[in-house]
Amino acid sequence: MTKLVLMMACLAGCAAGPEQEKGMKLDLQTTTKKEKNQTLVTATLRNTGSEPVHILLEFMLSSTYGTLTDEGGKELQAHNAAASRGARMFGSIKTHPLKPGEEVQVGQFSISPSAQHALTGDYSWDLTEVKSKTLTLVMIYEVTEEAAKIAKQHKAPDVAVGRWTSKPVVLEFRK
């Protein structure tokens, strides 16, 4: 019986896997507010781990964007203006040290039903043909290994690399 209790205790402790708190743990969260005739969704990256981490905020190395779907779940195609921007010469790379429990804004989405337009970062949507009463937004913050390497070459600290997505946000579009 003692062996069984010890084995179950080990399994309960071992089932959690390796110590997750030693690694980086970030959550992409959103807040929504109405402002005049538009809705703003702000994306913040929150450090929910126990170790500090540097966040890359250089707009040509980190990317904050969104996916927008209609009521039927069909993804709406966005226009991406990044390709028309061209290359950039980097000086000092913008990063933000994020202590456990802290958060930093990484992007914002705006939708204007009266203008039938939405925008986040390099992405924009023309919504004139959209008939849905609501749209669903998922915000995404991403830093690639290549972007982190470029930042490091420009004397930035090691930064968090990965792709973080928010929970879906349902937005009123048509009444």
Task: Output the domain CATH number for residue 149.
Answer: 2.60.40.2360
Determine the Cα angle at 54 with ends 22 and 95, to 5°. Answer: 175
Is the pLDDT at 81 greater than 70, yes or no? yes
Is residue 44 assigned to a domain?
Answer: yes
Model confidence pLDDT, tens digit, residues 136-161: 999 999 999 999 999 999 999 999 99
146 by Cβ neighbours in 10 Å (0-12 / 13-18 / 19+) ranks as exposed
Instruction: Identify whether 1 is part of a domain.
Output: no
If one counts the domains in the chain, the total is 1
Do the domain assignments include residue 10? no
Instruction: State the pLDDT confidence band at 21, using cuts at 50, 70 and 90.
Output: very low
- d(CA 52, CA 72) in angstroms, rounded, equals 41
In a domain, 160, yes or no: yes
pTM above 0.75, yes or no: yes
**Residue 115 domain-assigned (yes or no):** yes
What pLDDT, on the 0 to 100 scale, is given for residue 4?
34
β-bridge mates for residue 148, sequence order: none
39 domain residue, yes or no: yes
15: in domain: no
Q: Show the domain range for 75.
A: 25-172
C-alpha triplet 80, 154, 157: angle, nearest 5°: 95
Is the pLDDT confidence value at 95 over 50?
Answer: yes
Non-local CB neighbours of 41 within 8 Å, separated by 6+ positions? 30, 31, 32, 108, 109, 110, 111, 137, 139, 169, 171
